[in-house]
Amino acid sequence: MKERMNRREFMTKSASAVLGAGFAAKTGFSFNLNQTQQSRVIEVTHPDAVLEQRRVDKNVVRKMLQRGMHALTKSEEPWSRFLNPDDRVGLKINTLGRPVLFTHHELIQAMVEELKDFGIKENNIIVWDRWEHHMLACKFTVNTSDHGVRCYGTESRDPSVKRIDPEVFYTSDFDNPEDREGGTASLFSSIFTRDCDKVINMAILKDHNSSGITLCLKNLAYGISNNNSRFHKPAHIGPFIADFCAQPLVRKKVVLHLIDGLEGCYDRGPVPDSPRVLFSPKKIWLGTDPVALDAVGFRVIDAKRKEKGLPALKESEGYWSGPRPVDHIELAAKKGGGTSDLDRIKIEKICL
């Protein structure tokens, strides 16, 4: 990294106290984001983005990305608002839904081509996720060489693959002690802390049997750190996601958020067992406010569930035979991470 941050800047501690409704009282950083401000979300739709048999048109997808970025920045050089040509740029994708649903190759390739045209060197682009074996199941090819776009994961079933930064961690004892993997610290991926100067968050549109949805916020919290299974129960999952995404390193380094809504999953996520639970909005959403993006995506998934005669996510049974909390969006807003109120989110729709 150009700036090697010290460990203290990234570390925060969370208290184990609980204040009503599963909200953890935490010490640490607070952000004075104006909660009355309006957030912008760019929604781009193209009727030919996804064709029969789930075929995605890569040329259409690139046009969608281009138009979305121009609308977001109101600039003819949109990438200059976020990046420098000498940056090492990480594309944090989501492959947990392997092999049925994951960040589309075509959208990733469109992003790569846009970054290259801006001047980012090909080998300074890193496509990554937490689990390398998930990426392999989604037909990504590992490349750790000094040629071409790099592509690899933080961890794998292969014990020799463990790209973890022991100096940068999130710690909290507000968790499930029986699910801890060696303590109360969750170490950051060294891909995030050491290999990338900037990160673009490329989430997928889908529900989740624990948190309710898995969009921008969850793609970061559970994708960047290890030892996080300890937060996978209702009282802990929302506070963890909100607290983790409020960390200064995450706020600073993740410069752009995107939801891949070319296809989505409205039920049985995050690892859908069949394409029958998929739908095809043929959209992408872009923005700099991950809370606003998640609020918009949450509404889209719930609307699809209603259309299919399913209960709303907050009323549906999750992994623990109880309702899914879906509380991390509002908790993240309270931590200063963005806007969760749909009345204060300006959705700019572009239909190509």
**How many whole angstroms separate alpha carbon 318 and alpha carbon 237?**
13
Whether residue 338 lies inside any domain: the answer is yes
Any domain includes 154: yes
Burial (0-12, 13-18, 19+ Cβ within 10 Å), 251: middle
Weakly modelled stretches of the chain, pLDDT under 50: 1-36
Closest Cα to residue 251, out of 259, 260, 242?
242
pLDDT at res. 33: 42
Task: Please report the pLDDT score of residue 321 as a whole number.
Answer: 67
The pLDDT of residue 29: 25
Question: Looking at the domain assignment, is residue 187 inside a domain?
Answer: yes
Q: Is residue 35 part of a domain?
A: no
**Amino acid (1-letter code) at residue 93:** I
In a domain, 5, yes or no: no
Within-domain flag for 214: yes
pLDDT for the residue numbered 37: 60
SS3 per-residue string spanning the chain: CCCCCCHHHHCCEECCCEECCCEECCCCCCCCCCCCCCEEEEEEECCCCECHHHCECHHHHHHHHHHHHHHHHCCCCHHHHCCCCCCCEEEECCCCCCCCCCCCHHHHHHHHHHHHHHCCCHHHEEEEEEEHHHHHHCCCCCECCCCCCEEEEEECCCCCCECEEEEEEEEECCCCHHHCCCCCEEEEEHHHHHHCCEEEEEEEEEEECCCEECCHHHHHHHHHECCCHHHCCHHHHHHHHHHHHCCHHHHHHEEEEEEEEEEEECCCCCCCCCHHHEECCCEEEEECCHHHHHHHHHHHHHHHHHHCCCCCHHHCECCCCCECCCCHHHHHHHCCCCCCCHHHEEEEEEEC
Domain count, the chain: 1
Amino acid at 234: P
Tokens standing for 42?
Answer: 């760019």
Q: Is residue 6 part of a domain?
A: no
How big is the CA angle at 28 (ends 10 and 228), to the nearest 5 degrees? 60
Long-range contacts of 137-141 (CB under 8 A, 24+ apart): 137/95, 137/98, 137/99, 138/95, 138/98, 138/99, 138/102, 139/99, 139/105, 140/95, 140/105
User: Residue 22's pLDDT is what?
Assistant: 22
Number of Cβ within 10 Å of residue 85's Cβ equals 12
pLDDT at position 26 is: 26
Range of the domain at 133: 15-29+40-351
Token pair belonging to 346: 């300006």
| pLDDT of amino acid 195 | 98
Asked whether residue 287 is assigned to any structural domain, the reply reads: yes
The model carries a pTM of 0.90
Residue keyed to tokens 């700019």: 348
What CA–CA distance (Å, rounded) separates 29 from 250?
Answer: 12
